[in-house]
Chain A
Amino acid sequence: MRIKRTTWALPYFIFLLLFVALPLVMVLFYAFHGRDGGITLANFVRFFQTPEDLHTFVYSIEIALITTVLCLLLGYPAAWIMSNSNLSRSSITVMLFILPMWINMLIRTLATVALFDFLRAPLGEATLIFGMVYNFLPFMIYPIYNTLSKMNKSYIEAAQDLGANPVTVFTKVTVPLSMPGVLSGVLMVFMPTISTFAVAELLTMNKIKLFGTTIQENINNGMWNYGAALALIMLVIIGITMLFSDSEQEQANEAGGLI
């Protein structure tokens, strides 16, 4: 019998089960076990009884939301301008906006810290948010730009033909049609912001802690079960976010896999 080409996927399938699925099962396993073994909800109870961790959790979501909104406000106009051939037609500009996506987050964060050093600005919440926006803005611009520039221009012409003025065209046609891009942009900003750990630490000289850091500290200090439970809570939040944009996942992937 000849080997079917479909069997070629088998080694990778086994690899995925061992090093992608199984590790996630381990997170579940540790999260629902105590240090002494035995299934328990104690790790989650502990989370809700630790005001400091609970507060960090809520605060992280706040920061992530603020970052996402700011990125959207700054990024949408930029994406729209770049996709509009009347205003700008330079692939270099697009390239310049996309480029930072590929530079190590750590290095970019340290560079921002250097900027604040240079400006003698005190590190704190303001610099944290600025740094976050600076880090994640390209991830908002790119998917929106992608949708806008692939959008069929005849929709806009059709709207104009039917008597819509530029403002109406923008609000009734451009914005609704760019929603898939906006959604994946929001996803691509919100998800990493909520899960960063080193970034906040470096941006505020450890003054402000985010949820990612809490998880990391617990894991580092040997509290694997509690750390796993916290990681699971984060996964749930991310899962919920993704449910909002189920169909947009593909696009998010595409954008993530770009250049």
Chain B
Amino acid sequence: MKAGKFFAKAYLWLLLILMYSPIAIIAIFSFTEAKVLGNWTGFSLKLYENLFSGSISNSLFKAVENTLSIGVLSAFFSTLLGSIAAVGIYNLKGRKKQAITFLNNIPMLNPDIITGISLFLLFVAVGVTQGYLTVLLAHVSFCTPYVVLSVMPKLRQMEANTYEAALDLGATPGQALRKVILPQIRPGVVSGFILAFTLSIDDFAVTLFTKGNQGLETLSTFIYADARKGGLTPELRPLMTVVFLVVLLLLLLINYRSSKNTNKK
């Protein structure tokens, strides 16, 4: 059994090393100036400096700004839409519930490319100029289902008669929602917001199809365009390292929240 345990652990670590080596290599070689990846020309923060002052810094900052603002806005709107919808869906029964749950599942099951193309065709057919707003709308459409999914369990955990109990004690429906329902589902709403934000800043395919040709770029379409032009430009290394760290931080935050919530129970 001892040997078995050793091999089992070795297997896991081998897989992990394989999985993380590309990111590790990028991170390591972001601290040197060499144009060709693999050459080490001594420690340097030059590539990081280039990010902020080099030739790409302007368009890069614009892309980062777009990514963040679209991320925050789409997270806000999908949280609003999704939380209200979750309360509605929770109280629905039978066929209506099935129908809306089915529709809600589509964006989660659909491959990105189909979501992107279908929205692209819609915008084309309606004749909307594609740009910031269409991207935002597209992001809200694929983020909201995840918000619904993260609020729903909190509603289910609630005692069945909570809403009635509030009314019984003299709360109007509005007061019942604000003073009783909302405080109880708040963790789900906040998780939904972070989830939506993460999904939005992470998205590539849907953005690519709905960003139009007015020059709008987000971080991922920027990286894509850059990598397509000239392979891996050295500046992408520090950029990817930073993005990786940001996502890592967000994930730790979500996990910390969810483990804190489970511990409370």
Contact = CB atoms under 8 A, between A and B. Distances in A.
> In their complex, do chains A and B touch, with some C-beta pair under 8 Å?
yes
A45 interface: no
B150 interface: yes
Interface stretch (B44-52, B53-61, B68-76, B110-118): B110-118
Contacts of B120: 219
Contacts, number: 240
Interface residues of A, number: 87
Contact of B12 (A21, A93, A138): A93
Given A23-B122, A87-B4, A256-B108, A74 B149 contact: no
B160 interface: no
B113 A197 contact: yes
Contact of A100 (B19, B107, B108, B231): B19
Interface residues of B, dominant DSSP: helix
B169 interface: no
Contacts of A216: 113
Interface string A16-56: 11011111101101100000000000000000000000000
Interface string A108-137: 101111110110100000000000001001
Nearest to A87: B8
Instruction: Name which of A15, A107, A202, A259 has the most chain B CB atoms within 10 A of its CB.
Output: A107
B258 interface: yes
A235 B112 CA distance: 11
A118 B37 contact: yes
A106 B226 CA distance: 12
B258 A259 contact: yes
Interface in A179-230: 191-192, 194-198, 201-202, 205, 212, 215-216, 219, 224, 227-228
A2 interface: yes
Contacts of A88: 5, 8-9, 12
Interface string A83-110: 0101110000101110110111111101
Chief secondary structure at chain A's binding surface: helix
Contact of A7 (B88, B117, B146, B240): B88
Interface string B122-152: 1011000000000001101100101011100
Given A3-B173, A9-B100, A78-B15, A231 B4 contact: no
A234 B106 CA distance: 15
A98 to B, nearest CB: 9
A231 B117 contact: yes
Given A5-B88, A215-B117, A257-B150, A13 B103 contact: yes
Contacts of A192: 111-112
A108 B22 contact: yes
Interface in B190-212: 195, 198, 202, 204-205, 209
Interface of B: 1, 4-5, 8-9, 11-12, 15-16, 18-23, 25-26, 29, 36-38, 81-82, 84-85, 87-89, 91-92, 96, 100, 103-109, 111-115, 117-122, 124-125, 137-138, 140-141, 144, 146, 148-150, 163, 173, 195, 198, 202, 204-205, 209, 220, 223-224, 227-228, 231-232, 236-237, 240, 243-244, 247-248, 251, 254-255, 258
17 contacts: A6-B88, A9-B85, A11-B81, A12-B82, A13-B103, A23-B119, A24-B114, A26-B125, A74-B15, A82-B12, A103-B202, A110-B227, A114-B22, A195-B112, A231-B114, A249-B109, A256-B108
Q: Which 6 A-B pairs have the closest CB atoms?
A: A9-B88, A8-B88, A12-B85, A23-B118, A111-B22, A195-B111
Given A11-B84, A104-B220, A219-B117, 14 more contacts: A5-B173, A8-B87, A9-B100, A16-B100, A19-B137, A24-B118, A78-B12, A86-B5, A106-B223, A106-B224, A117-B232, A195-B111, A238-B111, A259-B251
